[in-house]
Amino acid sequence: MPPSPRHRTCASAPVASDAVTHAALANSSFLAACRGEAQARTPVWFMRQAGRSLPEYRAIRAQHGFQDMITSPELTAEVTLQPVRRHGVDAAVFFSDIITPVQAIVAGVSVETGKGPVIAQPFRTAADVDRLRPLDAEHDIPYVIDAVQRCCAELDPLGIPLVGFAGAPFTLATYLVEGGKSKEFIHTKTMMYADPHAWHALLDRLADIAIATLRAQINAGASAVQLFDSWAGILSENEYRQHVLPASTRIFEELRALGVPMVHFGVGTGELLGAMADAGPDVMGVDWRVSLSAARQRVPAGIGLQGNLDPVIALAPWPVVEAATLATLAAGRATGPGYVFNLGHGVLPETDPTVLTRIVELVHAAGTS
Amino acid sequence: MPPSPRHRTCASAPVASDAVTHAALANSSFLAACRGEAQARTPVWFMRQAGRSLPEYRAIRAQHGFQDMITSPELTAEVTLQPVRRHGVDAAVFFSDIITPVQAIVAGVSVETGKGPVIAQPFRTAADVDRLRPLDAEHDIPYVIDAVQRCCAELDPLGIPLVGFAGAPFTLATYLVEGGKSKEFIHTKTMMYADPHAWHALLDRLADIAIATLRAQINAGASAVQLFDSWAGILSENEYRQHVLPASTRIFEELRALGVPMVHFGVGTGELLGAMADAGPDVMGVDWRVSLSAARQRVPAGIGLQGNLDPVIALAPWPVVEAATLATLAAGRATGPGYVFNLGHGVLPETDPTVLTRIVELVHAAGTS
């Protein structure tokens, strides 16, 4: 196992890396699971738990544009904290957009409702790579640092860790190269195949950006981070290892010294679990398509697993949800002490939030035996 | 291995099941591979080889609506044969749409450019299932039978088999229940979880429709069939086995007596390869995300493999295409004699057809040693 993370107390200013562990956070079941330690009950949180499934989120969103939600620390902190208050989850995940750090340093990047990130001038050549200057977090995304501090000021005394959030280089590259969301990822793969030099230069810069934003979130108080390589699953393992793994590995290597647990996740990555685990996370997130027992065989011992209830199951009648939750929980526990209950992808907007609360209660009530 | 298929000669009328094997077809490397027999060179064809990548297709399409292409036997046969003439592939695949048989018996079903199948009144309840009456192929889709006969009249003397085409019950159900293409398949899974009785009734009727259309294509001269369960990969293996496998299994069981090789395929089905192989095909198609060696471990011995070059690689510079083709070919051959070279999904419209021809030449030139 990697060295035990040291957890920092939040404060109104960035906290030095030698800050003391907050007493309540020391008892976090989520952080303990990430360290591979057995705990009294299985921790549970949900990817995209903050956001459109919650009426209290929609009430705020009705008054503010999406960009305001991202760049107003007060709003960001509020919607990050909403699911913790409502569901009693064991971790908060920082509310942000995967493109936020890039948007701060590249002109013509927006997030459009129903479309996601849109890049006015797609990145296709080596010359385009130079449009990505290094991220200076305090200057470029001060609202992220501020919002993390606000979150932690409320979360730390509760012993609830904040999970920092960033997009992995490959997934960020798909948005930049395609100009937005994609189905076949033709431009991305074409650049990867036809101009590997420019491709690797692009991923290197995106790795630097991910490092800078996650470092800033950790220094501001995040007790863990999750690196989302959402679309990595479109690649074969050979392609991933050759064209993506080096950049992702550098992120985990450089952040390792900060001492917080690191989770890695992408959808449809069943064939990549072993390769993504080689990048260096403490915990691998597992998509719902892969059984947790199969994931255990593909991910080396010592690396925990997180997942993997199908988000659509949360829309089913409660007996179906209950049976599937208990089956997932049993399968997860069988993989070892470093198991975190979660969905196999993000919460769907159509989800009834009371069902998520019942899932949390069910996981907690089930204990560890 | 299953019993050796008996291949029928095409004629101007449906051919009785005791028709003699056409001499040229008896030497088909594709059919031999499907039977698990070693052959002089690895057979190769491409899913979606007929269609938008070919200028000769687009020239016809410019003069006719898509529905005309599907329901005019002369046009259907022409575009089915185009890639055989151009590329020298070892099999033709019947040009049709996955929704064609359903469209013939349900009102308000259309295929819209860029959107695919659109169902005006989606199927959501048990009562909706009754809108699916049995398919009477000779009455409902005579143009399919006619087109298959026209194709085989040209293909049989060349020794090129025609692969018949149908959508599997699950994938057809996703279109009917969602009303068209989907991303999250919420309505489909909700019906599956919340009303399993209606769900299984729906899949049973869709299995009957697949059986009827494939039986008609085989009787009209198709020497093999491929059952496309394009979207099955959104399900976990448990869900697939419980809610999909029984209906798909019945198709292979009922067609087995007709004695032609049967291929089964879906994208993103790495975790399902073993379960889909249990449905009873002779050959499993493999998506590009899964290594052929991993597929070999998941699919029982005696069932051949087909695939799995990433279609986007065909858009890369030739040295990349060449290296990837040879690597795929080597990996495929290592899986055993029942290997068929193909892409891991359909040909992309953006593909330069001369590259596909070069891939065929490369596969053929490589021989078997």
Residue B207 has pLDDT above 60, yes or no: yes
The full DSSP string for B173-222 is HHHHHHSS--SS-HHHHHHHHH-HHHHHHHHHHHHHHHHHHHHHHHHTT-
The helix or strand, by DSSP H or E, that contains position B224, with its residue range, turns out to be strand B224-228
Cβ neighbour number for residue B93 with a 10 Å cutoff: 29
| Pairwise CB contact (< 8 Å): B315 & A190 | yes
Percent of chain B with pLDDT over 90: 91
Residue A187's pLDDT is what?
A: 97
Give B38 to chain A, closest Cα distance, Å. Answer: 28
Which residue in B6, B61, B289, B333 is the catalytic one?
A: B61
Residues 99-138 of A with CB under 8 A from B: none
Report in angstroms the alpha-carbon separations of B271 from B176, B229, B236, B263, B286: 25, 14, 8, 18, 11
Residue A132's pLDDT is what?
A: 96
**Active site amino acids of A:** 48, 52, 61, 97, 175
Q: Tell me the C-alpha distance between A312 and A345, whole Å.
A: 9
Residue A38's pLDDT is what?
A: 84
Residue A8 has pLDDT above 90, yes or no: no
Residue B40's pLDDT is what?
A: 77
The pLDDT tens digits for A29-61 are 999 999 999 877 999 999 999 999 999 999 999
Which of A12-16, B127-131, B293-297 has the least mean pLDDT? A12-16
The pLDDT tens digits for A296-306 are 999 999 999 99
The pLDDT tens digits for A165-220 are 999 999 999 999 999 999 999 999 999 999 999 999 999 999 999 999 999 999 99
Residue B229's pLDDT is what?
A: 98
Q: Tell me the C-alpha distance between B304 and B34, whole Å.
A: 6
Contact predicate A125/A132, CB 8 Å? no
Residue A319 has pLDDT above 80, yes or no: yes
Contact predicate A214/A225, CB 8 Å? yes
Contact predicate B318/B355, CB 8 Å? yes
Residue A3 has pLDDT above 70, yes or no: no
Mean pLDDT of B200-219: 98
B271 CB near a chain A CB, below 8 Å? yes
The helix or strand, by DSSP H or E, that contains position B167, with its residue range, turns out to be strand B162-167
Residue B7 has pLDDT above 70, yes or no: no
Give B291 to chain A, closest Cα distance, Å. Answer: 7
Residue A17's pLDDT is what?
A: 40
Q: Hey, what CATH topology would domain B25-365 get?
A: TIM Barrel (3.20.20)
Which tokens go with A14?
């960035």
Contact predicate B110/B116, CB 8 Å? no
Report in angstroms the alpha-carbon separations of B76 from B90, B116, B348: 19, 18, 19
* Amino acid letter for position B236: S
**CA neighbor of A156 nearest in space, from A271, A278, A9:** A9
pTM above 0.90, yes or no: yes
Residue A368's pLDDT is what?
A: 56
Q: Tell me the C-alpha distance between A356 and A45, whole Å.
A: 9
Contact predicate B86/B153, CB 8 Å? no
B368 confidence band (pLDDT: 50, 70, 90): low
A22 confidence band (pLDDT: 50, 70, 90): confident
Chain CA centroid to CA B121, Å: 27
Q: Hey, which residues does A227 pair with through a beta bridge?
A: A166, A264
B292 CB near a chain A CB, below 8 Å? no
A268 CB near a chain B CB, below 8 Å? yes
More confident call, B22 vs A238: A238
Active site residue B58: no
Residue A113's pLDDT is what?
A: 87
Residue A15 has pLDDT above 50, yes or no: no
Residue A1 has pLDDT above 80, yes or no: no
Q: Locate the domains of chain A by residue range.
A: 25-365
